[in-house]
Structure 1
Amino acid sequence: MRWSFTLHGGAAAVLSAAALALAGLTWLPGRGALPLFEPAWPMAVVIIPAFLLFLAALVRQFATGADRSAQWQAFRCLPGRVQAGLGLLAVTSVAVMVIGAVAGERLQDAEVREGRYVAYDTSVTTDRAVELTQDEYLALLPSSRRMMFAVPGLLGAAAAAIVLAAGELRRADDASAAR
């Protein structure tokens, strides 16, 4: 496999692990202990590269011209530890998203609008925006950010799997062309 595929897949896997670590930090007790969740920059630092790595992985996958079964076989040719690691990242991301959806908190998506703290109330069908106190906002913020960190975790894991399978296909093509 070419080094660029390995580097791309490794960067996507590391980004996925970092996003999941940030999602895990949202469960720590003590709302004031970590100032990571109030500013928006940690989400931007994780979401934008995850999306770009995922798009680049799709481009590399389509450049191989292989069908789905060949891509699955190429993924299965990866070392077992790599497969297990990528599977663990994907399953953990999905688990965080499912836990967030099942928890079914009444207030979601805390944000600051025009100097006021606002969240969406899922129990009413009309005006869903509810104004919060700063303490309520700070208590709700980690759960709001958790999903936003789990999605890039899944994107990164998928990007790593896709690009490493594409690299394996490229390696096989190069080996067959050399004969």
Structure 2
Amino acid sequence: MGWSFKVHGGIALALSVLFLLSAVLAWMPWSSPSAGMTWPLAAGLSLPVALAAVGRVLLTRADKKTLWLAFRCLPGRLQAVLGVLAVAGVLMAVIGASQENNLQTDGVKDGRSYVYDTTPLHRGRVEVSSSAYADVLRREQRSLLPAFGAVLAGVAYAVFTAAEVRQADARSKRTHAT
């Protein structure tokens, strides 16, 4: 496996762990939500890594079966880490999303905190206290950040399997050339 694949997959794994840990911290009552990761930042960090991974997989021209077989060639510990991160991210996202939450953060302007109420018949921007705003921010982090963590575990899977396919293709060309 080439070093660029290792670096790319490592970045995806590190971001996955970062997002999952940020979501775990959002469940802790003593943690400050402003110190945690927000979903726009998570999306900004995830998008380039994910797009590059999609490009790498497309360049291999491998089908789903080949990618699965390549995944099976990865070390067992790496397979386990990828699986645990993906499952943990999905479970945490489902649990976070199952909490009833009709409020979304809308920002802080001039020292005032605003949320957007999505309750039917009450839609609109509402000013709330800073503690209520922090609670809404925590709820958002609980449901959105684990989803990014699960997606980035999938991105790491794609990068590492693309590396295995590329490595197998290189071995095949060497054996056919001799």
Q: What code does the residue aligned with 2:85 have?
A: L
**Aligned equivalents of 2:75 and 2:34: distance in 1?**
38
Instruction: State the match for 1:36 in structure 2.
Output: 35
Is structure 2 residue 168 aligned with structure 1 residue 166? Answer: no
CA displacement, residues 28-84 of structure 1 (integer Å, 9 cap, x when unaligned)? 1135x46414xxx75555332221111100000000011111111111111111111
Q: What code does the residue aligned with 2:103 have?
A: Q
Instruction: State the match for 1:5 in structure 2.
Output: 5
Check conservation: 1:16, 1:89, Cα contact below 8 A.
Answer: yes
**Aligned equivalents of 2:8 and 2:107: distance in 1?**
36
**Aligned equivalents of 1:63 and 1:10: distance in 2?**
20
Secondary structure of the structure 2 residue equivalent to 1:78: coil
Which residues of 2 match residues 83-162 of structure 1 at below 5 A? 83-105=79-101, 107-112=102-107, 114-115=109-110, 116-162=112-158
CA displacement, residues 98-152 of structure 1 (integer Å, 9 cap, x when unaligned)? 01221122x3322226444332334324524333222211222211223332232
Cα distance change on mapping 1:50 and 1:71 into 2, 3 Å = same
State the structure with bigger RCO (CA 8 A, min sep 6), 1 or 2. 1
Q: TM-score, normalised by structure 1?
A: 0.86
Secondary structure of the structure 1 residue equivalent to 2:104: strand
Q: Which runs of 5 or more residues in structure 1 are unaligned?
A: none
Which residues of 2 match residues 70-85 of structure 1 at below 5 A? 70-85=66-81
**Aligned equivalents of 2:162 and 2:174: distance in 1?**
18
Secondary structure of the structure 2 residue equivalent to 1:66: coil
Query: Identity, % of aligned pairs?
Result: 36
- RMSD over aligned CA atoms reads 2.1
Cα distance change on mapping 1:147 and 1:101 into 2, 3 Å = closer
Which residues of 2 match residues 18-29 of structure 1 at below 5 A? 18-29=18-29
Q: TM-score, normalised by structure 2?
A: 0.86
**Aligned residue-pair number:** 174
Q: Which runs of 5 or more residues in structure 2 are unaligned?
A: none
